[in-house]
Chain A
């Protein structure tokens, strides 16, 4: 039963990441402020990390990274590697050190978006010699973080409800 719930939960997360990616790519959802639009898959992956262990977080980080590589046209695997590492670290943090709530979801979504922007800016500016998406980030760092943070709130609430519904309760486990 535990495995079935886990598989069902992972399936929901996968569909969620795909749906966020589709929404991100859809024309009507191109909300942007001064050229900045949130990357929804990052918010989704961060919120999943709140409720899963480090390996699951890393797996969904890699999936999110692959999708970002697909949409941005960069080398497949670059963002997957970065988000995978990030997912592993966040999984450990949320499992043992940080209490998961919507504030942490907003905070870490903002940090993750800024980190991704900086890394991509560094890679493309200094390694490949041209600006990628960092040009907007140079002048609107605060907006990048704010957009990602705000986008994570509904995703966090959804993931929290999924996690609570599909996870077996501690009282029942102790009694058994």
Chain B
């Protein structure tokens, strides 16, 4: 033990400890300006800078690839989200259209609360295209029967000519096969709405059997009379475009422009029942 205190090792330890003690004292007395810390920092700083720069380059390189994967995933998720939103937009537009349709018919039904409606959509058009006849997606299962009148918010457009369980065929007022009793609401002069091949392509129909001495004029509104008991009364059809004379039949007729453009019809209502159905009015 005594030998240790006299040995070189002990002396070295004591000298080193004293040196460190001096450094500690100097640091304590002047903490703002620490020469030893500055010297040590200067020697360490190049290593820290080089290591940090290598790490920065490596992390940038790594995050470049990681970011690509993240961006690809983000793109995929955004694409699926866009697809979902597009479907929702389609549904929204469909609901909006249906809502608008029902809003119009709600007003119409309030005014004609004795009418019973069945809504339907056009699912097919007549391949010949002459008279704008079409097929709807409702049939006898929904209460539709033959000769039921078909209307839109703009007025009557035709009647049911053939019925299946789930679909029905509608002939428009442009077709010569359709015959609907109608009258000028201003002059009360009546006739029969029946189409013509010559003017059907122009979205026009005819009102035949009008009196020779008539006071109808262009612009008059034509509506159903309801006298036959097959169709309700006061369903607007169109307006008078002109009064003509038919040489073959030797009678006058009115060219009627329907309020509805039949080429663009998508949604319709079929009147299945009304007050006075089946009862003929004899004046």
Which residues of chain B have C-beta atoms less than 8 A from A85's C-beta? 13
Which residues of chain A have C-beta atoms less than 8 A from B24's C-beta? 75-78, 81
Chain A, residue nearest B17 (CB): A81
Q: In the complex, which residues 1-45 of chain A have their Cβ closer than 8 Å to any Cβ of chain B?
A: 15, 18-19, 21-23, 25-29
Bound CA–CA A76/B13 (angstroms)? 18
Bound CA–CA A76/B41 (angstroms)? 12
Q: Judging by beta carbons under 8 Å apart, are A28 and B59 in contact?
A: yes
B70 to chain A, nearest CB (A): 19
A62: interface (CB < 8 Å): yes
Bound CA–CA A25/B55 (angstroms)? 12
B47: interface (CB < 8 Å): yes
Which residues of chain A have C-beta atoms less than 8 A from B23's C-beta? 76-77, 80
> What DSSP secondary structure best describes chain A's contact surface?
helix
Q: Judging by beta carbons under 8 Å apart, are A80 and B12 in contact?
A: no
B51: interface (CB < 8 Å): yes
A84: interface (CB < 8 Å): yes
Q: Judging by beta carbons under 8 Å apart, are B17 and A22 in contact?
A: no
A37 to chain B, nearest CB (A): 16
Bound CA–CA A95/B199 (angstroms)? 118
Q: In the complex, which residues 236-280 of chain B have their Cβ closer than 8 Å to any Cβ of chain A?
A: none
Chain B, residue nearest A63 (CB): B40
B212: interface (CB < 8 Å): no
Count of chain B residues with a beta carbon within 8 Å of a chain A beta carbon: 25
Residue in contact with A26 in the complex, picked from B20, B21, B36, B52, CB distance below 8 Å: B52
B191 to chain A, nearest CB (A): 92
Q: Answer whether A22 and B44 are a contact pair too, CB < 8 Å, given A75-B27, A80-B20.
A: yes
Bound CA–CA A62/B16 (angstroms)? 9
B48: interface (CB < 8 Å): yes
Bound CA–CA A150/B12 (angstroms)? 33
Bound CA–CA A58/B36 (angstroms)? 19
Residue in contact with A58 in the complex, picked from B16, B27, B47, B59, CB distance below 8 Å: B16
A141: interface (CB < 8 Å): no
Q: Which A positions have Cβ atoms within 8 angstroms of B? A: 15, 18-19, 21-23, 25-29, 54-55, 58, 62, 66-67, 69-70, 75-78, 80-81, 84-85, 88
Please name 11 pairs of A and B residues whose Cβ atoms are closer than 8 Å in the assembled complex, sorted by A: A18-B43, A18-B44, A19-B47, A21-B44, A28-B55, A67-B40, A75-B28, A76-B34, A77-B23, A81-B17, A81-B21
Given contacts A22-B48, A26-B48, A76-B27, 6 further A-B contacts (CB under 8 A): A19-B47, A22-B51, A69-B37, A76-B36, A77-B24, A88-B9
